[in-house]
Structure 1
Amino acid sequence: MSERMTGGAALVRRVLEHGVDTVFALPGVQTYPLMDALQKAGNRVRVVHPRHEQTAAYMAMGYAKATGKPGVFSVVPGPGVLNAGAALCTMVATNAPVLMLTGQVPSGFLGRGRGHLHEIPDQQATLRSFIKWADRVPRAAEAPALVDEAFARMQSGRPGPVALEMCWDTMAEEGAVDFADLPPRPEAPAPDARAIVAAAELLAGAKRPMIVVGAGAQHAGPEVQALAETLGAPVSAFRGGRGVVPDTHPLAAQSAAAYEMWAETDVLIGIGSRCEMPTMRWTGMMAALDRVPGNRKLIRIEIDAEELLRLKPDVGIVADAAEGARALTAALAGRVAPDPGAQERVAAARAAAREQAEAVQPQVGYLDAIREVLPREGILVKDICQVGFASYFAWDVYGPRTYLTSGYQGNLGFAFPTALGAKVGCPETPVVVVTGDGGFMFAAQELSTAAQHGIGVVTIVFNNSAYGNVRRDQQTRFEGRVIASDLPGIDYIALAGAQGVQGYRVDSPEALKPVLAQAIAADQPALIEVMDEPGSEGDPWPLILRQPV
């Protein structure tokens, strides 16, 4: 039976029918009907309103990455959408399923270039050039079907961000709307039996296989672990796959440890991963390889068939990570025996990597202090900063969705707002963000958002009065000519206090531990400033960018 409602109300109702319970939103005149519908929804949905559109988008991303559920945010069109652009491209890099709801100029102005409020030449085309899908809702009656398509698009295949826009006038107009039952979620393709057999044949003759997992395997931990144990193969990840197999497992190897075993690896199994670590990080970042270097063989389990054209495998399996790993493990039954010396080799590689990591101080010392205090299920969000870089190889991850990064975008300043979204999605879980004084100031105003909405993120700001990585590169690569990388002093404790957030200041890992424990126990927004001597940090890059072997 049809119901009469505005376009904005139809959008909100269908989004909530998809199980959404939180929307991150900044209101504006083009989205008033949508915001009014959210207000009328009452306690069926929580609306969190930050101070910047980019933050709204990052919060939705953090929510999605921490929970595994779709994130939803709303901003105004034009400049609001463009402000959210950095977060949208980060969602692409991290495979985050997020829906953006936005407005548009009045329908009579579409495509006329009259310069209406917030108009940009072709918003849909702009979005389609870098996110997964974008469309326009022409009238209220078509809102349910297009919301359904948006959810299908963002969750099927390789997850990613999508967008729906609606014109200012049609969002406010009432129309008759029918709400059909929710469609079933599209199923992933079943693994091709011939590809599974071919992969099993390759592995039956392998002596030293290695598994690399990415963000596409975050839901496939048990299946990946079973495959690793069947083969006796080490499992590693650079960023997105951290925690798929916990670092406590005897076959788990952080990136630096995996490199120690790379020379002897003869078959690489990439699962839900672009295999960035061995094909870019260990090759100098400048060699545009479309195959794994050396005489190694490559097996890839990847939901996105197109991805297999970018890095060509010897055997490609188009499948969900869990289904593909399960099928491959079953095909190996009775054909392979676990390498009896694998665990000892992994342990030796981990010990060698840890010895090298000990030189990267004080970053590793601070990471050890945080790891000692943060519960095993706690979430760490790392920014582009010296401690964040060291976490690639010196931070133990104990479970999926507990280590959040910006993926290959590597964009400064994403971490604090992303951590806010993660905490909103996982309110009972401690969330700690590590950021530098440079990156933190991209969204420092959101301390007030944390205070207003009671979002108990603990933010650790490492203050070295510089864009530290840039400054080091300028000193070492350009004969010490430093430009635009030194930062002015800021009283971060006063900045936090002015926004209603408790601030602390420490200057050593030992001093950090009790303060961090106190802040986590309080479960209130907190900022801890760590004073670093400018230029005193050890260089993490020799353990990230390795020599080809």
Structure 2
Amino acid sequence: MGSEHTDATTGGAALVEALIVNGVDTVFGLPGAQMYPFFDALQRRGDRIRTCGARHEQACGYMAFGYARSTGRPGVYAVVPGPGVLNTAAALSTAYGCNAPVLCITGQVPSGFLGQRRGHLHELPDQLATLRSLTKWSARVERVEDAPAVIDEAFRRMLGGRPGPVAVEMAWDVMAARAPVRALPPAVPEARPRPDADAVARAARILVAARRPMIMTGSGAQHASVAVLALAEALAAPVAALRGGRGIVAEDHPLGASSYAAYRLWPGTDALLGIGSRLEMPYMRWRGMMTYVREPGPSPALIRIDIDPEEHGRLVPEVGLVADAEDGARALLDAVRRLRGGRGAPDRSARLAEVAAAKREARAAIGVVQPQLSYLDAIRAALPRDGFFVGELSQVGFASYFGFPVYAPRTYVSEGYQGTLGFGFPTALGVKVAHPGRAVVSVTGDGGFLFAVQELATAAQEGIGLVTVLFDNHSYGNVLRDQNTGYGGRVIGAVLDNPDFVALAASFGVDAVRVDSPEDLGPALAAALAAGRPALIVVAVERGTEASPWPFIHPAPVG
């Protein structure tokens, strides 16, 4: 039951109180005219909710994304409407692609100007329609007293079923207006669907009969690591992922496999179980990115666990379980055990030996991707098992897809299929805000880093102890390679004249050093992590010297 406040409150304050009721402890934001009552309420409630500022709206969105991606809890940001919201569009798109629960709160023109196109401050022709094209759900709060209900609905939509970003807007005059507001209890996400018993039984029969099953995981399985590992061990099935599903099974576990080790095992795979994954690797990366495979065919037998019923129509499995990853994996595990009648798993020592050999062979093969692999080895050695690696669209970032072992859920934070250049550094700031006591390393290139370089000021002012490793090759490395190899060396827009990054970081009050070898990077990174302050480590790399990682991301087509 709710209770009515005796004093009237502003629309902005009503939004803040609804966030607090729903457990929000941090808002990433950049204030402006339409949002003043909201930010004033944040300031007044600073005992319950932290406001983390930024120097660009884009960073607000990405920090919220990093918070959500690394915790599984909602990441919230607030910016002005119009250009402020549009500046966050890439972050919203990334959150949508990664199924990350991100809430955007923004303003609007005054109510009387809605839809009039009079050219009011920050007006868009139809902001709500724009937001709905980028999010799972978006709505406007029409009255102050509606704020708790709309925020609760936003949380239900954001967290129910397949998670994703949502947005709430409030007109300028409503944000400042006052009215009595009845508080509501926290939102309760919709109940998870129960796995269909017949589908579970059919899937279990396929998996028990398979000689060489494989499991591939995605972002939707990050909370289900215990159940996924138990199922993998029961089946002696290696577990692999491209980006979002990494760390669900540690890659130093006998059944934890890198993406390239999985590729080497793929030709013999007779059953594939996808859990919370779009299965981009086998049906796009390994078959060719230009041909849409909707129905993969009989071999390997495809089983999917995905909470989104529409997903089963985008890539049609032999058996599809519309279920949460944890519920589906546990149901399959129980069914497998029932089929075996208590006899336990058969001897799978030969299969484990195959997996181990594939892992060794994959590691030996990818060793040619230098100097990236040596640098990644140095980072892995300095980063604790539960430390966070936040990548970027860069030569080292791409090599990390297959060359950086991941040991714990949610600790490998990626950009997903959106491929949003520049996401890494601001996203990593949000990860560090969410996990102040754990090591967080942003690994970026010079091109992507300069998308949000101004957030060095945010790191210093907010005391965010993120360590950023910046590989400075004075180029957009992929573009330069492609222009040289595919377009006769006609280079345009790919070569970069960069600032002195060490001096630049120092001007913001951020610790900074320069290194030029993996042997120097390891100690520098360990020292920066131990210091716990914002830090930048610049790694000098000669332009054009990095080996291409793409043969191991888009290997020769199979299947």
Regarding TM over 0.5, the answer is yes
Q: What's the CA shift string for 1:385-421, capped at 9, x where partnerless?
A: 0000111111111100100000001111100000000
Identity %: 58
Amino acid at match of 2:200: I
Cα distance between partner residues in 2 of 1:342 and 1:233: 8
Q: Map 1:31-430; keep pairs closer than 5 Å.
A: 31-292=35-296, 295-335=299-339, 337-338=345-346, 339-430=348-439
2:30 aligned residue (15, 26, 45): 26
- Local SS of the residue matching 1:263: helix
In structure 1, distance between residues paired with 2:338 and 2:323? 23
- Superposed CA offset, 1:257-308 (max 9, x none): 0001000001110000000000111012111111336722100000100011
> Residues 423-502 of structure 1: matches in 2 within 5 Å?
423-502=432-511
Q: Distance in 2 between matches of 1:303 and 1:495?
A: 46
Deviations 1:414-470 (Å, cap 9, x if unpaired)? 000000000000000110011110000000000010000000111111011100011
Instruction: Give how far 1:179 is off.
Output: 1.0
C-alpha distance in 2, partners of 1:96/1:44? 24
Residue in structure 2 matching 1:2, options 1, 4, 7: 4
Amino acid at match of 1:321: A
Q: CA deviation at 1:221?
A: 0.3
Q: Distance in 2 between matches of 1:476 and 1:181?
A: 60
Runs of 5+ unmatched residues, structure 2: none
How far residue 129 of structure 1 moved from its aligned partner, in angstroms, is 1.4
Query: 1:109-159 CA distances to partner (integer Å, 9 max, x unpaired)?
Result: 000110100000101111111210000001111000010000000001111
Contact 2:476–2:494, Cα closer than 8 Å, also in 1: yes
Which of 508, 514, 522 is the equivalent residue of 2:517? 508
* Separation in 2, partners of 1:379, 1:396: 12
Match of 1:541 among 546, 550, 556: 550
CA distance in 2, matches of 1:347, 1:193: 34
Taking the aligned partners of 2:242 and 2:535, their CA distance within structure 1 comes to 29
Tell me, in whole angstroms, the C-alpha distance in 2 between the residues paired with 1:54 and 1:148: 25
Q: Deviation string for 1:334-380 (max 9, x for gaps)?
A: 53535332221111001111011110000000000000011111100
Count of aligned residue pairs for this structure pair: 549
1:60, 1:172 → 2: CA distance?
25
Please report how far the alpha carbon of residue 58 of structure 1 lies from its aligned counterpart in structure 2 after TM superposition: 0.3
Question: Contact 2:469–2:539 at 8 Å: present in 1 too?
Answer: yes
Contact 2:107 2:171 in 1 (8 A): yes
Classify the secondary structure of the residue corresponding to 1:493.
helix
SS of residue paired to 2:296:
coil
Query: TM-score, length-normalised on structure 1?
Result: 0.99
CA contact (8 A) 1:234 1:342 kept: no
| Cα deviations by residue, 1:319-338 (Å, 9 ceiling, x for unpaired) | 00000000001001153535
Letter of the 1:296 partner, please give it: P
Distance 2:197 2:272 in 1: 20
Is the partner of 2:302 in helix, strand or coil?
strand
Distance in 2 (CA, whole Å) between partners of 1:94 and 1:182 is 25
After superposition, the CA RMSD in angstroms is 1.0
- Alpha carbons of 1:293 and 1:365: their partners in 2 closer, same or farther (altered >3 Å)? farther
The answer to whether the 8 Å contact 2:270/2:300 transfers is: yes
Map Cα deviations across residues 3-62 of structure 1 (whole Å, 9 max, x no partner).
211111110001011111100000000010100100110221110110000000000010
8 Å CA contact 1:54, 1:84 repeated in 2: yes
Q: Is the 8 A contact 2:22 2:187 kept in 1?
A: no
